[in-house]
Amino acid sequence: MTPGGGGPMKDCEYSQISTHSSSPMESPHKKKKIAARRKWEVFPGRNKFFCNGRIMMARQTGVFYLTLVLILVTSGLFFAFDCPYLAVKITPAIPVVGGILFFFVMGTLLRTSFSDPGVLPRATPDEAADLERQIGNAEDIANGTSSGGYRPPPRTREVIINGQTVKLKYCFTCKIFRPPRASHCSLCDNCVERFDHHCPWVGNCVGKRNYRFFYMFILSLSFLTVFIFAFVITHVILRSQQTGFLNALKDSPASVLEAVVCFFSVWSIVGLSGFHTYLISSNQTTNEDIKGSWSNKRGKENYNPYSYGNIITNCCAALCGPISPSLIDRRGFIQPDTPQPAAPTNGITMYGATQSQSNMMFSSL
């Protein structure tokens, strides 16, 4: 072996990537295998993951923790200071009903906050490059700088749903044509199926896969807030009949705090529940209602193609239908032989769906 010779060095480098078993002369560190990485570790959106990718949330979760604190503190004070008195003076069913409502509220909140709302996979690098090339050719043709006769697809596509023309918009971030009712969340940087809105109170987007849990959360929270407020007032009235109003407030100062929190929050919670009840009954999303997508002002022939024409059927479709599986496979392993997508201009690594997933998504339209 000659010093400075290139042959042995090349052989050594080749042995590191060789698929054959390592020779006994190799150092132990060369035998170590690179640990497989999961897809959530290189997820392109602005999301936070916990429990090895099982929990998926938005990056801004401060308001979500405020929601947890308000529910836990208000309910805890109610069970600690009001329920013992009410259970003796009225009925033991009060803390039982309150406990059932509390656990239902917490269960639906966590289910909404920790789940995939229906994120759509981004295009693979090959699919994105091909589509960008087609769109670039389209711009050249429009500007008269292309001499070819090929006319690529435009930036929007149209599909017919129940006799209504619906446009599919191209997402420049995800490099896909979004399916109907999908939209790109600027906070999470994801395209979401049947996007309703981004809710900071639950710390997640509300979409196709978690909308029913969000609705059940705000509806049950309305009942819990009204329940606590009504029985806190009852508690104060019963005590004031025995010791006077001021003494009743001094004996149970926690009831004052509960009443204030419930009084100022019940209006917005009940109003939000009523608004989403209207949306469910007409099979609309918050995004569509705000934009006026199916408003009569856009034309006499403009109507909601997703409505079944019956309130009960619309409610059953939104609340009782099967939950579609997640499309992003965030806990799946990255295959070592699969080329990884290049990092986009914003510095976030991206990965996409397979071609079969994209074909399956558009074939279902």
CA angle 112, 333, 117 (to 5 degrees): 15
- CA separation for the pair 296, 171 (Å, rounded): 27
**204, two tokens:** 């997640």
Beta bridge partners of 330: none
Dist CA 363 CA 5 (whole Å): 59
How many angstroms separate the CA atoms of 60 and 48, rounded? 9
Distances in Å between the Cα of 228 and the Cα atoms of 49, 53, 111, 144, 274 are 34, 36, 23, 69, 19
Q: Catalytic annotation on 199?
A: yes
- Buried/exposed 63-73: b ≥16 CB within 10 Å, e otherwise: ebeebbeebee
CA distances from 179 to 45, 223, 296 (A): 18, 36, 23
211-243 vs 311-319: helix crossing angle, rounded to 10: 100
Active-site option among 83, 199, 205, 262: 199
Active site residues: 199
